[in-house]
């Protein structure tokens, strides 16, 4: 087991993002293409895969009352800075909103579905004053594989390999580890090495508190908080409130996990809220969240960056239940049992795009994660002979991924067709 490699994976896959990561990734690509062009953009053509289109269609753009990829792209033309990566839109002003609205009305942005890819894919082509540029992002929200200007290729890794130098290059190496090794890493890593995780705790809990205080979203977080009877209920309310704020476009970043802000909310927020209220030490909370991140990443590299199943439940939910079991003193066997318990109950949750209603899915994920952990701590294990479960939790994860990738191969197309029909 390589301590250094697992730390690199954590540091690469736990990053701040402003708003939903799919419009954020498009904004990042647009900012890059605009900067490459070096002149005013007169025509912008964006092609994305079905999952980016699905996730970007109805989600709020931070700091605005607007939704969707086209407005995010327009805003990126006005204020986007590639150096901010997934926070490319953070310098919003009233003037920039007005300018972006004018760009949308001018119709210079064309958004199309790229049907020939089966992975995360964003292509941005910009033209203006006789110049042209192109940027392609593939397989990961910040993995730039192609750049060109005026026909001159500046970067070409169109295979999208994440093993080449660039963001996310280490994440697939987590497949080489067993879940037991991930747990042992968390038990033994020097506390100072994972202290950076505290920044994500502070970031996500800050947004949760603001969302519970103010009138943000549809009020689901407040609803759960007012009905809460114990620390687990309150942890769910914090998570849901933060998700509502994020999906509504509240202009504060969250800490992501495995490329998703909502994954980050599930992986971090319940454990931070429960651990703090129960008086658990900061170091133990941090270690628990490190395990939550690692399991979230572990599941995502099997299911894919974007998939037909809800990663907040399938990936971050599994991370959360593993982290919670660890934090509450569970053994290695109980942590692996909690993963199986979670998979037994929530493996059928579909992803029908990023939107305000995702907060309800996060509520279900947190509830299920708490139940799965508490069951395991009481030595209540769902039999591994049930359904897609396996005796080894690693095999359960692989089975879930197989169902998602192969068994649900046409699910995204059906979901997207429904969503596009409604938007016409």
Question: What's the CATH number where 67 sits?
Answer: 3.30.1330
User: 86 and 147, same structural domain?
Assistant: yes
Task: Say if 117 falls within a structural domain.
Answer: yes
Average of per-residue pLDDT across 338-354: 91
Grade residue 368 by pLDDT with cuts at 50, 70 and 90.
very high
User: Is 9 within a domain?
Assistant: no
Do 175 and 314 fall within a single domain? Answer: yes
Instruction: Look at residues 156, 181, 201 and tell me which one is the last residue of a structural domain.
Output: 156
| Whether the predicted pLDDT of 158 surpasses 80 | no
Instruction: Specify which residues 121 forms β-bridges with.
Output: 138
Instruction: Give 279's Cβ-side CA count (13 Å radius).
Output: 0
Q: Which of 99, 123, 156 is the last residue of a domain?
A: 156
How far is Cα 315 from Cα 32, in angstroms, rounded to an integer?
A: 30
pLDDT-derived band at 166 (thresholds 50, 70, 90) equals very low
Higher pLDDT, 165 or 69: 69
Do 148 and 176 have their domain in common?
no
Residue 196 and residue 130 in one domain: no
Q: Which residues contact 80 (CB under 8 A, 6 or more apart)?
A: 27, 28, 30, 31, 34, 88, 89
> pLDDT exceeding 90 applies to what percent of the chain?
77
**Predicted confidence (pLDDT) per residue in 59-97, tens digit:** 889 888 898 999 999 999 999 999 999 899 989 999 999
pLDDT in tens, 266-282: 999 999 999 999 999 99
- Examine the pLDDT at 164 and tell me if it is beyond 60: no
Say what angle helices 393-402 and 282-303 make with each other, to 10 degrees: 40
Q: What is the pLDDT of residue 165?
A: 39
Give the pLDDT score at 168.
54
Would you say residue 49 has pLDDT above 90? yes
Question: Which range has the worst mean pLDDT, 256-270, 303-317, 377-391?
Answer: 303-317
CATH number of the domain that residue 187 is part of: 1.10.4100
Q: What is the mean pLDDT of residues 201-215?
A: 95
Domain assignment of residue 399, yes or no:
yes
98 Cβ neighbours under 8 A, 6+ residues apart: none
201 and 129 assigned to the same domain: no
- Whether residues 213 and 324 share a domain: the answer is yes
Degrees to nearest 5, angle at CA 110 with 107 and 115: 160
Examine residue 166 and state whether it is found in any structural domain, yes or no.
Answer: no
Whether residue 284 sits in one domain with residue 137: no
- 135 and 177 assigned to the same domain: no
Residue 81: domain span: 18-156
Tell me which of 17 and 34 has the higher pLDDT: 34
pLDDT band with cut points at 50, 70 and 90 for residue 391? very high
**Domain annotation covers residue 10:** no
Same domain, residue pair 63 and 112: yes
Please state the domain count of the chain.
Answer: 2
| Domain termination residue (choose one: 156, 179, 206) | 156
């Amino acid at each position: 087991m390589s301590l250094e490699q697992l730390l690199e994976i954590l540091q690469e896959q736990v990053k701040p993002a402003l708003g939903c990561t799919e419009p954020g990734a498009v904004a990042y690509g647009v900012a890059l293409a605009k900067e490459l062009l070096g002149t005013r953009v007169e025509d912008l053509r964006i092609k994305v895969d079905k999952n980016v289109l699905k996730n970007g269609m109805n989600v709020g753009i931070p700091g605005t009352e607007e939704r969707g990829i086209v407005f995010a792209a327009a805003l990126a033309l006005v204020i986007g800075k590639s150096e901010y990566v997934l926070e490319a839109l953070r310098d919003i002003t009233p003037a920039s909103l007005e300018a972006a609205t004018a760009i949308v009305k001018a119709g210079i942005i064309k958004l199309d579905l790229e049907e020939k890819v089966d992975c995360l894919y964003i292509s941005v082509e910009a033209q203006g004053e006789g110049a042209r540029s192109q940027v392609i992002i593939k397989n990961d929200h910040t993995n730039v594989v192609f750049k060109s200007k005026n026909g001159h290729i500046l970067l070409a890794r169109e295979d999208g390999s994440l093993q080449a130098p660039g963001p996310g290059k280490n994440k697939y190496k987590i497949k080489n580890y067993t879940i037991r090794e991930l747990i042992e890493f968390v038990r033994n890593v020097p506390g100072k090495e994972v202290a950076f995780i505290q920044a994500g705790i502070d970031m996500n809990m800050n947004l949760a508190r603001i969302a519970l205080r103010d009138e943000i979203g549809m009020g689901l977080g407040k609803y759960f908080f007012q009905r809460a009877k114990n620390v687990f209920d309150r942890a769910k309310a914090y998570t849901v409130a933060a998700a509502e704020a994020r999906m509504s476009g509240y202009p504060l970043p969250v800490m992501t996990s495995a490329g998703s802000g909502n994954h980050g909310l599930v992986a971090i927020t319940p454990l931070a809220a429960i651990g703090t209220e129960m008086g658990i030490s900061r170091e133990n909370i941090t270690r628990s969240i490190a395990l939550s991140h690692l399991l979230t990443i572990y599941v995502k590299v099997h299911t894919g960056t974007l998939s037909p199943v809800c990663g907040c439940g399938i990936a971050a939910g599994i991370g959360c239940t593993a982290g919670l079991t660890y934090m509450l003193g569970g053994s290695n066997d109980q942590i692996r049992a909690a993963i199986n318990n979670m998979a037994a109950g929530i493996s059928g949750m579909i992803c029908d795009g990023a939107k305000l209603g995702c907060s309800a899915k996060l509520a279900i994920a947190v509830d299920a994660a708490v139940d799965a952990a508490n069951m395991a701590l009481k030595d209540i294990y769902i039999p591994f002979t049930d359904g897609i479960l396996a005796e080894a939790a690693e095999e359960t994860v692989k089975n879930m991924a197989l169902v998602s990738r192969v068994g649900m191969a046409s699910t995204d197309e059906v979901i997207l067709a429904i969503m596009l029909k409604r938007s016409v």
